[in-house]
A and B are shown apart, each in its own frame.
Chain A
Amino acid sequence: MTAPAIDRPAPASAPVSPARPGRRRLGDRLLTAYGWIVIAWLLLPIAVMVLFGFNDTRSRTNFTWEGFTLQWYGRLFEIPGLSAGFVNSLVIAVLTAVIATALGMMIGLALGRYRFRGQGLTNLIMFAAISCPEIIMGTSLLSMFLMTGIPLGRVTLVIAHVMFSVSFVAVTVRARVLTLDRSLEEAAQDLGASRWETFRLVTFPSILPAVTAGALLAFALSVDDFIISTFVNGPVETFPLWVWSASRLGIPPQVNVMGTLIFAVGAALAVVNAVGARRRG
């Protein structure tokens, strides 16, 4: 991770206010330092996580550096409970991302595109769902599942995860839809496209960056959700839940490796989306 734009010192030959070059240089340095602090703040915890995945630790705890090793990558699936949790988390996150993206995209389109009765209310609910404390959402989801008699497990986890991530997708898509030129769709229809063709060929490609961003967001929210999941998981353990229960005994380095892998995939997808968005314009 480099930050060339921030890193570069101010060119001394082109000061903006030549009368006070000293002040400008100082301001520039402060800005550069600030930039690095923010980057460090954001990345340091992740760097520590990645680093301790390579720690040649022998004890149960993985808090002190004892030398470099790749063995944990080879022994990734040695702990059955952790492996099961990891797979559960991935399956649930993928399902959540697919369902929440499909639903959220439609909600976002409706909110951004049309005027309808109950629109204000729908908007309100979207933002309420985003701002609602997870602990409250978790307890109310649990009582709802108990009341309706749906057995707790993977299904309730997916339902709960879709429930809190759909708003994020909807809001992301809605923001994009609002910037779209309405006449694009009219132009498509004018040129003989049916409603479905208009959506497939014009609307969807135009909102694709937002849809992808929404899907990534839903995946990320689901994969590391802890609070709501503790209420509705039943017998099923996800990756974060397993880590939490294991933490009293000591977290094995495999957890760091899995965290690193999840982060790497997420970061790669985000980069692909950003590059794609830039290319599409």
Chain B
Amino acid sequence: MINILGIESSCDDSSVAIVGDGVNILGNVVANQEAYHKKYGGIVPEIAARKHMEHMLPVLDHCFNESGLTIDDIDAIAVTHRPGLVGSLIVGLTVAKTLAYIHQKPLIGIHHIEAHAYAACLAGLKYGTPHVALVASGGHTSLLRMSEEGRMALIGQTLDDAAGEAFDKVSKLLGFGYPGGPVIDRMAAECNHTGIEFPRPMLSSPDFNFSFSGLKTAVMYHRKKHSESSSEQIATAFQEAVVDVLVSKSLQATQKLGLNTLSVVGGVAANSALRRKFKEICDKRGLSLFIPPSRLCTDNAAMVAGLGYQKYIRNLLDPLTLGVCSHSGMILQKM
């Protein structure tokens, strides 16, 4: 078995994983900084970088313990080097380079968004299957066309706020706090009638782009005009609108590209209403759907190590001079 050590530190969470042959998760440890962020109301980048420094080595140790392996069992080291917060990325990359240098292991730089899409391969999708991937998180809302060779093309993205960002902001507007996703999900699960219909932005635009900034305005305005609606009802109606747009656009893209496989990844893919709706519609239309379990949807290093394996066996290695990059470098393809 070929074992890849994966390291992820692009945003809030420090994570280390060991994955065998691209799919067997032997260890996957995530130190979540949520406790700090709750206290500070969001991310404090300086703290985020410092916390990554504090967490990274214990998480690495923990991962080796969990897997029962040692560094000698590792064939290569894969690390997220773009896109993300520069200070945070550097922590992971430095650990990866140090290990690679000391133990003479190949280094593989990983694109965070490609790693998210790879999470579907940890949930049964065969690597290289042409499909559409929806990556929806706090920082991203992108539709990708994944092609045979594992190449990806950006075919749609948000023009303003990301879906996860919209959850956080609406949650804050309604007084539920940070992070917004899980709270709104829970709230909506208990609310069966809202009587509110928020707009579905961009639903009928001919491209595959998204726009979520208008929903903040709609929520704010509704709250000021309709004091009879409860926060729970507003949150639920908001979630319905987001889910509706994400599902419809993904299906439009799948249809337009003539593909029959779809994956949904990124932190927002942990949302239970989104999972349910995707499953319902894909079942009806006979599409194959891959949504990884929640712990593989949110940031984790298993997706990094898994994708690292695919690069490793294709000899796509990087030099020790590899650097970090804050932006994704992906250019929207005109459809």
- A and B held together in a complex: no
Contact surface of B with A, Cβ cutoff 8 Å:
none
